[in-house]
Structure 1
Amino acid sequence: MTTVAWDGKTLAADRRMAGYMTTCKIFPIPGGYVAGAGTMDQLVEVAAWLQEGGDKPRLPDDPESEFIVVRGSEAFWLSWPYLREVRIREPFAALGSGAEYALGALAMGADARTAVAVAAQFDPHTGGGVDAVDIS
């Protein structure tokens, strides 16, 4: 899995993929960004759909992935099975296997980058560095 964090200004994600490889899990979309946790195939499919439009991707009935979409100053969680954007009203959010660690760090005042770095210290599925985009 992975860890994604949103602090109201910055969207951050770790880079670990398949246990030993690294990649960026934050993708630009029209008007914002999407980041996800779970399988890379599902993240790439959802990112391509948000970038290009068209039919929603066909994901497994029991997907392992979840997503945060940021447009402007608003963040949304993509719900399954319809991939509808559900507005996140909290000042911060996190998802993925290290979400609980990241949420604890965010609640203590950490920014999103630091929250993902904290999660990487404790969650074996989070690591490889942190990518982040600042939303202005």
Structure 2
Amino acid sequence: MTTIAWDGRVMAADRRISMGTTTYSSTKIRRTADGRLIGATGEWPVASVVLDWLEHGGPRPDCQSSDRWCTALEVTPDGRCWLHQRDGKWPVEDAFTSIGSGREYALAVMAVGMGAEKGVEVAARFDPGTGNGIDALEIAPAAAAPVLVEITNGAALAA
């Protein structure tokens, strides 16, 4: 499986995918052109289709069944988090969340004040489905409002 963690600022994921007892490395999280962060866990062929759909849009893929499935996280540029599963999506209103086989480890680590990257690192230590390194993406901070400056008699005053 995998571990993907969101701490309200950073989405982190391990890189392990497997076929039988052989493991490979792959990137499971992405930043979309419009600034969203997306990541998926589960059977990799299905997860990659769901990631492509989340990134590029179009009709919801009908690729998930009882024996082929994935769970995905989507974080909008304003920091709202959505959980996607085969039956739809819903908002996650918690300060942090995690999905995948190592999620409990990551949740515990984030609950004591450590971030998503540390959560995935600890999950990789204890969960055999998590490993092969960590990728992390930070949500882009909202653009600061422009500061208006008024020039009066050669002196700048912040408005």
What is the TM-score of this pair, normalised by structure 2?
A: 0.79
Gapped regions of structure 2 (runs ≥ 5): 142-159
- 1:36 matches 2:40: yes
- Counterparts of 1:36 and 1:74 in 2: how far apart (Å)? 17
Q: Per-residue deviation at 1:74?
A: 1.1
Given that residues 61 and 81 in structure 1 are in contact (C-alpha distance below 8 angstroms), is that contact kept between their aligned partners in structure 2? Answer: no
- 1:65 matches 2:48: no
Question: Residue 122 of structure 2 aligns to a residue in which SS?
Answer: helix
Q: Which residue of 118, 138, 141 corresponds with 1:134?
A: 138
Q: Per-residue deviation at 1:69?
A: 0.3
42-51 vs 116-125, which moves further = 42-51
**Counterpart in 2 of 1:25?**
28
Following TM superposition, where does structure 1 have runs of at least 4 consecutive aligned residues deviating by more than 6 angstroms? none
Q: Which residue of 118, 122, 129 corresponds with 2:122?
A: 118
Gapped regions of structure 1 (runs ≥ 5): none
Aligned length: 134
Question: What amino acid sits opposite 1:14 in the alignment?
Answer: D
Question: Residue 113 of structure 1 aligns to a residue in which SS?
Answer: helix
Q: Per-residue deviation at 1:61?
A: 2.2
- Counterparts of 1:14 and 1:28 in 2: how far apart (Å)? 16
- 1:87 matches 2:73: no
- 1:48 matches 2:52: yes
- Counterparts of 2:117 and 2:25 in 1: how far apart (Å)? 17
What is the TM-score of this pair, normalised by structure 1?
A: 0.92
Cα RMSD (Å) of the superposition?
1.3
Question: What amino acid sits opposite 1:117 in the alignment?
Answer: E
Larger Rg: 1 or 2? Answer: 2
Greater relative CO, 1 or 2 (CA 8 Å, sep 6+):
1
